Each structure stands twice: as C-alpha cells, then as structure tokens.
Chains A and B, each alone.
Chain A
Amino acid sequence: MIKGLKKWRLFSLLALFAVFMAGCGNEEISTFQPAGQVANDQFKLLLLASGIMLLVIIVVVIIYTVALLRFRRSKLGEDHIPEQVEGSHTLELIWTFIPIVLLLILAIPTVHYTYKLGDVKAMEAVDDEGNAENLVVDVTAKLYWWEFEYPDLGIVTAQELVVPTDEKVYFNLIAADVKHSFWIPSVGGKLDTNVENVNKFYLSFEKESEGLKDGVFYGKCAELCGPSHALMDFKVKTLPRDQFDNWVAAMQKTAEEPVVANADGEEVFAQSCIGCHAVSGVGESGAQGPNLASFGDRNRVAGYLEHDEENLKEWIRDTQKLKPGNTMPSFSKDQISDEDLDALAEYLMGLKVAK
C-alpha cells in the first residue's frame, strides 16, 4: 500500500519536474525571463527567497523522513511506550533564532527593493526649458480596454502601449469604472488602477519586442473586473529611442494627414463609430472607446482576437458575444450593411502609422 503510494508520488513528481524543465514560460509573458530592470530586481528577490525556502523545506523533509523511518510502531513493537519528553529549551531557541536570521536575510533586500521600485521622484523632473526629462504615460483602465495617453507628447493610443527601450518610463494609473490592475509580467510587477486615486510607478523596458513571437510583450488585467476580465489584455511594443520618436511624430501627424484606405469605409465610420472612437492620435484620455489612430498596426482585435478583417467584422456585429459586459454596442445588418462593413473593415485595417 505504502509502496504503491511511493511509486505514484515518484511518477507525479517526475511528471511535474518535466513540465518545469520544459521551459521558463513564454518570453513575451513569463516572469522567469525578465525584460527590464524592475522584473529583474523582482526575479533576483524570487531567487533569494526560493533559495532560503528550499533550505527550510530540505531541513524539514530530512527530519520528517528520518523520524518516519526510524520510529514506526511496526518496528518498535505494539507494547513500546516511548519516553514522554516534555520539550527542550535549547531546541526551541534554535528553531526560533535560525528562522529569524533567515528572514532578516530576506527582509533587508525586500525593504531595499520596496523603496527602490516605489521611487517616482524623477517623474516631475524638468530640464531648463521646462520639458519633462522622462517619458510619462497616463494609463486609464476601462471595461475592458486600456487607454494610454502621453501627456507631454500630446498623443493618445489604446490597447497597444508603445514605449522606448533602455530608459525609465513612468506611469500614472487610474481606472474609469471599476478597479483593474496593470501588469506586464515580463517587464515588472503589477500596480492596481484604483477608481479614486492615481497610482504611480515606473518600469524600464530593456528588450526590443521585435524579435518576440507576436512582436509584442503581453499585458494583463490582474484584478477581477467583471465577466470579460479574462479578455482584458493589452500588448506592449518596445522600440529603440529613435524609432519611438518616429512613431510619436507619425502619431502627431494623424491629426492633419489621416490615412484613408477606403473612402466608403471612412463614411461609414463617420456615421456609426466616430461618436466614441477617434482616428486622430492627437488628444487626451477620456474617450468613450479606444483610439483607433494606429489600429492597423495592432496585434489583436478587441484585445485578444487574431488581427484580421474577419474577426473585426464579427466583433462589430456581436460585441457582447465576444466580450460579455463590454460597453460597445453591436451593429446589426440594418445598422451597417454587409458591404458597408467590408468597407469599414478595410478602412480600419488601413489606419497605420508605422511603416
């Protein structure tokens, strides 16, 4: 019986070990493959904590196993009455103080990193001409999408965060309806977007997203926010500083030089969509629906669907089916005919700023 149990344990352990060894997760989303200073600091803390904890587990398991092997009644005989030991002050002191020391080893870097990662003083810093020294992004989380405003650059985008690499990017986070939480696992830990106050933190992106599977890092909402919480994904594109500047310039130009891939589509858009969605990247946050100035460059429809016209059309026809509880109305054939929808899809897919 016990023998069978051991075999089973071994088998399941091996299976789990295999899974563990199979990988450190996917590069675009795993905390095991940090792509920035913040995630890296947290990863170092994870290694330290895991090391200490592994030590504790090993000690416990050794005592446990030896005790279990040596002191079985089947060996000692039915009538054996063990000595009724009261306890030991020395031992109590040992297993009080050694854990305290182990915890101090963990507590010191914990406090250090808590302050380091919470340091947002540089956010307000300006150079002699009054320009902000660091890039600041205002993030607004809404049911179930993300709005990213670059207040110092005068542009706004949604669903796909674009940031320069190798510098600290500061974030102001707030939620517009219910609480969400902003998380890019491979770049750094999460921070909640509360409804009543702005939370601030920084991340630094040290890997270009170009080589990744989809060319982007994955971002997630980490706080239960309603039926479509699971679908409230966003993507992060990291570019070298010069390419980022190009992107900013292109975004700023969308106000004067709109891209029109399909003129009929533009007309449909003007009738049905423009009430909530903007196609100019110049502006501020606070829109009803995601800004679509760079829609054609994006990676997903509705934050999670393959980025193609089929999905886009399905989405417009039945938004509640694809993302229950979201605030965008669905458009029936009476509202937008099939031909108009085709034109609209082509127009939307043509909204590109990147070359």
Chain B
Amino acid sequence: MSSVAQKSGFGATLWDWLTTVDHKKIGILYLLGGLFFFVLGGIEAMIIRLQLITPNNDLVSAGLFNDLITMHGTTMIFLAAMPILFGFMNAIMPLQIGARDVAFPFINSLGFWMFAFGGLFLNISWLFGEVPDAGWTSYASLSLHSPGHGVDFYAIGLQIAGGGTLMAGINFLVTIINMRAPGMTYMRMPLFTWTTFVASAMILFAFPPLTVGLFFLTFDRMFSGNFFDHTMGGNTIIWEHIFWIFGHPEVYILILPAFGIFSEVFSVFARKRLFGYTAMVFATVLIGFLGFMVWAHHMFTVGLGPTANAIFAVATMAIAVPTGVKIFNWLLTIWGGSIKVTTPMLYALGFIPSFVMGGVTGVMQGAAPLDYQLHDSYFIVAHFHYVIVGGVVLAIFAGLHYWWPKMFGTMLNEFLGKITFVFFFIGFHLTFLIQHWLGFWGMPRRVWTFMDGQGWNLANFISTIGALLMAIGFTVMVINIIMTTVKNERVGNDPWGDGRTLEWAIPSPPPFYNFPATPLIRGLDTLWVEKMEGSKEMITPAEPITDIHMPHGSIIPMLMSLGLFIAGFGAMFHQETSWGLGVLIFGLAFTFVTMATRSVKDDLGYYVTKEQILQDQENLKRGRN
C-alpha cells in the first residue's frame, strides 16, 4: 500500500479527502455534494408545492416564495444535477476508457472545490436573509431592480461554481482525447464516455457566455456598470440572449450524460449490444451542435419579430429528429434482448415514456405561435420537469443504483430501490402531468398564490400530493443508502453479472491506480468481448506490469477556491462597508499566492512499485477464493 493509504484516524482521513486528486474520490465528493444540494432543492420544492396546495394560501410570503423558486431552480441545475453527473463522469469515465486517472488530477480537484465553495456561497444567502429572488434566469430588469444582496449571491456564487464546471469540462475533454487505452478508438468508446465527451465540449462553449453575463451582472450591481441599464444606454435583452446562449446548451449538457447512462443500462440489462451504436454517436454529436442554435426559442415572446421566431422554431423542431433516433434505438436495443428488470433498468424503462412526453411537449413549444400561449405558463413548468426529472433525475437514480457497487463496493438494496421507483415515478407523473393543463387553463408560472374561482384548485391539489409521493420515494432511497453502508456487504468485480464495459473488469471499488496494467481494448463492449471468448482474467493487458507514476494529493485547490470565496464577500460588501475592498483584495491575493505556490513548487509525484502491484493482485486473488 502507498504511504497515503496507510494513514488512518479521523484527521488523516479528512486530510486525505480534502487533498485528494484521485478521480474516484473526487467523483464521490461530487456525488455527496450534489446529493446534499439535491436535498436542499427538494425541500425548497416541497415548500413551493405546499404553498400552492390551496388558493390564497399564506404558508410563505410573496417575497420568500420568489426566493424559493429562484434557489430551487438554481440549486437543482447548477448544484445538484450537474455535480451528480460530474460525480459519475469522474468515477466511471476514466475506468471505461482504461485510464489511470483524468488528464489533470489537480484541476479536477480544483473544479470540485470551486463548485463546493460556489454552492456554499449561494446558499449562505439564506443565513443573511437576502436570497436571490429574480428567478434562476435572473432577467436583467428584475435582477437589477431586486433590493438587497440576493442577486449578488447569485452572480458571484454561480461565477465561482461555473469556473469549476468549465475546468471539469476541459479536463474530461483532454482525458478522453489523450488517455484512452490502446485499442480504445473513438468508435469503441461506451456511450456514457461519448456523451461525457460531447457534454464537455458543450461546456467548453456554453460556459464562457455565462461567465461574461455574470460578470456584466456583477459589474452592474456592485461596480456601477451599465450593461443592462436601459436608462444609461444598456439593454436588458442582451442578458436574455447571453443567458440562453448558455442556458439552452446547458439543458443538453445535463441530458446527454443522462442518455449515456441509460444507453449503458439498457444494453447491460437487455444483455444485448446497443442497437445502432454509430447512429447513437452521431445523434449525440448532432444534438450537441443543434443545441447551440436554438436558444431564442426561450424568447419567442420577447418580440424578436416573425422572421427570427420562424427560423428558431424550425431549428428547434429539427432537434426532435436525432432525439427520436435515440429513443427508437433504445427500443430496438431491448427488442430481442433478455430483459432483466433490476432497479436501474426500472428507471431506464420509466424514462422512455416520461422523456417522450417531455420531448413532444418541447416540439409543441417549438411551434412559435403556439408558444405565445404556452410560454411562462404552467405548461412550460410541466415540460421542463418532464425533461429534467423524467430524463436527468431518473438517469441519476439509475446511475446511482447501477454504479453504486463500483463506487462504494456495496450493492444498494433492490427491493427498497424498486419501492423508491414506484413512489417517485407515480409521484412525478401526478405532480407534473396535470400542470400541462394548468397552463392551458391560463395559470402563469412563478406565481406565489392564486385566487379561488379560476378552475385551478383541484389540479394544484393533485400536483402537491404527487410532490409528497416523490419526497417519500427519495426518503426511501436515503434509508436504502444508509442501510447499505451500515451493512457493508462487499461485492466482486461484476456484481450485476452482465457488465459489458471495462469498469466491471476491475475490483469494486477499484484500486487507486485502477488498472495494474493498461488494458488492451479489442472491441466495443470490451468486457463482453472478453467474456464471450471465455478469457479467465477478464482483461487483456496491453503491457507488462511496471511501476506506476501517480500524483501527490494537494490542499492547494481547496485554498485557491477559498480565496475566491472570501473575495466574493469583499466584492459584495465593498460599496457599503470600509472593509469590503480590503477583503476583496485579500481574497484575490490569497488565490494568486496559492497559484504561485503551485507554479513554483515542483511536485514530481511518486511511483507505485511493481512489487506492490503484484502483492495487491495476490491479496485480491486470495480474498476472492
């Protein structure tokens, strides 16, 4: 064992996690961080639905309601869905391509800590009592008008977290391009790796506009800028464009990895090769491209004129084609397969009808004149929850059950998993299906209450009951996770029995260097190929076992992010306090010093010796017998 792994005790363990650059541990950190924020966002959602259970309800005030919807949306998108997906990408993608780690382990850690501090910054607003309240879109006229520091928390918190996301995206791109094992050609990569690749490329192009937009907003609110103030020659519509040029690709950044997870799950539990692999890859890339060309469909009612609306309407509809290709290829994957309904498969099977519903309502809104009615009504609330919950969240739950054994070495309870699914799935449809009709019946979104006598009472009541069922389902899942962790029954390499990709060829959880010898990839579904040929070792090495070079852990990424976190408070308070400017400068200086330290201090890493790897292998074999 290495010197790092030999330390024990709480302090040493904590230090290990704070300084880790191991992609599997960072994956777990992302997962836990994301789940924490998922719970926060979920609580916010429950309060929203309870407020709307009856007309004229006064559970929360109008101002607090706007805080809740803003934080619910922002938290779920930026701090829950993306980090959890990043968790899977980190933990699994390098294993799928036969790599020992990501390309830049240090930056990987930095990305996580920036997300963590950004999320913390955003949510500290609750303690200050000044919470972002201009919606997760923070449209400029309202976000400039919003009093207090609420929107400042939004602008700076997202800026820090967004920087982390951008780094993670670049890191994944470089990893997939450069670190594939011998024989792992692009067209042999598992679909989850492919979708990670395309989503990362989208992050690379979508996040810079957000960064720019948030800087504009920061300057307008905190440093007397006038980018969006129309009385000073600014323009609020520019924010809407910038936001959606980021915001629409963002939706695909979330859904593509979800597609990847389902592609893995369908093929494993139907025991069949993914149908139309090539078409699936091209559909993924095409969705990635088209995702950048449709942002103005969020702005059909802004008054861009009929020509712009018509162009963006047709472009939007075009996205339905590659998405449809994907749906049919999944159907044909399970067609003729041998379907085993495990918990992950149950989520995947639940996903198909749910996501098709969300997809078709998307096309309906793509029809611009129809969207004039649907836009900003409850119909859109129903639509994007069908896509995000019915697509992304179901994928997260599927991935959680599917990869839990690989990440933690234990198997989540299948029975409780199915209970979770039943409650969550029924609750989900009960909550959101009826909201389509609420939209048709004229209910605008983001309303903190509604008057009696508009025909909306029963539908809102049903919707709230559905939300409660979802909460019950999620609670069962948390119980499941706790029980499984306490029981701690270890599992082998391939606990599902039908694993097809490389991650199932190595122990669960894998040793910190992943592969004793870099594997040789001999086809799509590497492990399946080896299994069918009856290979005993389940993996063909591409090289003899030699010493492995590994990076040291480092506390610097956390300190760098901490500096930005401190600077954020300085920026926010610099106008009204004397210490603000000092704190801003201190925080930035702190970050620069840590960066300089990193540059000056040479860290050459260390070697895991050949003897030690052989010893590990020996121990594993003995443990197995």
Contact = CB atoms under 8 A, between A and B. Distances in A.
Interface of A: 1-2, 4-5, 8-9, 12, 15-16, 19-20, 22-26, 29-32, 39, 41-42, 45-46, 49-50, 53, 56-57, 60-61, 63-64, 66-68, 71-73, 76, 80-88, 91-92, 95-96, 99-100, 103, 106-107, 110-111, 113-119, 173, 175, 177-179, 181, 183, 185-186, 188-192, 194-197, 199-200, 213, 218, 220-231, 233, 304, 324-325
Contacts of B429: 12
Contacts of A31: 373, 440-442
Contacts of A226: 66, 142, 145-146
Given A110-B314, A189-B375, A218-B454, A224 B446 contact: yes
B434 A19 contact: yes
Contacts of B338: 71-73, 76, 80-82
B458 to A, nearest CB: 6
B523 to A, nearest CB: 11
Nearest to B144: A178
B441 A25 contact: yes
B306 A88 contact: no
B459 A19 contact: yes
B437 interface: yes
Contacts of A29: 441-442, 454-455
A125 B335 CA distance: 62
B478 interface: no
Contact of B306 (A115, A189, A304): A115
Nearest to B147: A325
Contacts of B335: 63, 66-67, 71
Contacts of A225: 142
Nearest to A306: B451
Interface in B109-148: 133-135, 139, 141-142, 145-146
A56 B360 contact: yes
A15 B301 CA distance: 34
B237 interface: yes
A283 to B, nearest CB: 24
Contacts of A177: 141, 145
Contacts of B366: 110
B195 to A, nearest CB: 18
Most chain A beta carbons < 10 A, residue from B335, B370, B426:
B370
A86 B365 CA distance: 35
B337 interface: yes
B149 interface: no
A42 B459 CA distance: 23
Contact of B442 (A30, A80, A99): A30
A7 B595 CA distance: 60
Interface string B216-239: 000000000000001000011100
B625 to A, nearest CB: 24
A118 B306 contact: yes
A85 B275 contact: yes
22 contacts: A19-B434, A19-B459, A23-B455, A24-B440, A29-B441, A46-B370, A61-B353, A67-B335, A71-B270, A71-B339, A85-B275, A95-B324, A99-B320, A114-B309, A116-B369, A185-B377, A192-B303, A197-B237, A199-B303, A222-B375, A233-B451, A324-B63
